[in-house]
């Protein structure tokens, strides 16, 4: 398995180096039609699709509970319109576009908070002397790593929330399935 990962990663670097003369460029924006014809957009992103400087803005955006609005018309719940002042609050972010979006706590609160509980149970399993959760730690961390790529993107959009679904579902199942175990342990301690 390690050989497969190394071979895949190496071939990715070699192909990028052959195509773009840079092994670490995945999507060269300077050749993309929308960005080549609009140097302002290219400058806004720093010429890259992914940037670690975007984490603060995207994490705030996808976790802020107020990104939702209710109306009198069907379907009654909508994504909050994007606020043009958001990029100014995060001056280091290289964000190209902010579309109307809802956050995870606003659009799916039960799933989000159950997932937070499941993550806490898996990460604190050793301290809590609950080895049953240790088996879920590696797959959960792998899914979180895959979904966290969206935090590096130069866009804030509703469509990227789906990348969080694998870890949200698995972590929330762990959190919800643990309710009887935790409640039973609490009842045994109190003698009820």
Reported as a single tens digit per residue, the pLDDT across 175-186 is 888 877 766 665
Please report whether residue 128 resides in a domain: yes
Please report whether residue 8 resides in a domain: no
Give the whole-angstrom CA distance, residue 82 versus residue 99: 6
pLDDT value at 188 more than 70: no
Reported as a single tens digit per residue, the pLDDT across 57-110 is 999 988 888 778 888 888 888 887 778 888 889 999 988 888 888 888 888 889
Query: Is the preceding peptide bond at 145 cis, omega within 30 degrees of 0?
Result: no
Q: Tell me how far CA of residue 175 lies from CA of 39, 125, 172, 180, in angstroms.
A: 47, 12, 5, 10
Structural domains in the chain (count): 1
| pLDDT score at 115 | 92
The residues, ordered by sequence, that sit 6+ positions from 28 with a Cβ below 8 Å of its Cβ are 20, 22, 47
Please report whether residue 186 resides in a domain: yes
Q: Give the domain extent around 83.
A: 50-190
3-class secondary-structure state, position 188: helix
Please report whether residue 45 resides in a domain: no
pLDDT value at 48 more than 70: yes
Please report whether residue 44 resides in a domain: no
Is residue 150 within 8 A of residue 58, CB to CB? The reply is yes
Please report whether residue 165 resides in a domain: yes
Please report whether residue 151 resides in a domain: yes
Is residue 82 within 8 A of residue 101, CB to CB? The reply is yes
Please report whether residue 13 resides in a domain: no
Phi, psi of 10 (to 5 degrees): -65, -45
Residues in the chain: 192
pTM above threshold 0.75 = no
Percent of the chain's residues with pLDDT above 70: 89
């Amino acid at each position: 398995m390690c050989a497969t990962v190394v071979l895949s990663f190496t071939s990715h670097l070699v192909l990028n180096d052959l195509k773009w003369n840079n092994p670490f460029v995945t999507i060269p924006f300077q050749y993309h039609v929308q960005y080549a014809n609009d140097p302002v957009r290219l400058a806004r992103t720093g010429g890259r699709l992914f940037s670690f400087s975007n984490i603060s803005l995207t994490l705030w955006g996808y976790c802020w509970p107020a990104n939702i609005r209710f109306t009198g018309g069907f379907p009654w719940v909508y994504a909050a319109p994007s606020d043009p002042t958001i990029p100014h609050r995060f001056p280091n972010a290289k964000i190209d576009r902010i579309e109307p979006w809802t956050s995870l706590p606003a659009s799916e609160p039960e799933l989000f908070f159950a997932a937070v509980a499941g993550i806490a149970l898996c990460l604190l399993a050793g301290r809590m002397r609950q080895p049953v959760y240790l088996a879920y730690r590696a797959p959960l961390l792998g899914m979180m790593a895959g979904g966290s790529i969206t935090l590096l993107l130069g866009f804030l959009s509703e469509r990227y929330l789906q990348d969080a679904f694998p870890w949200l579902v698995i972590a929330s199942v762990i959190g919800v399935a643990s309710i009887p175990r935790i409640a039973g342990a609490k009842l045994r301690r109190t003698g009820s």
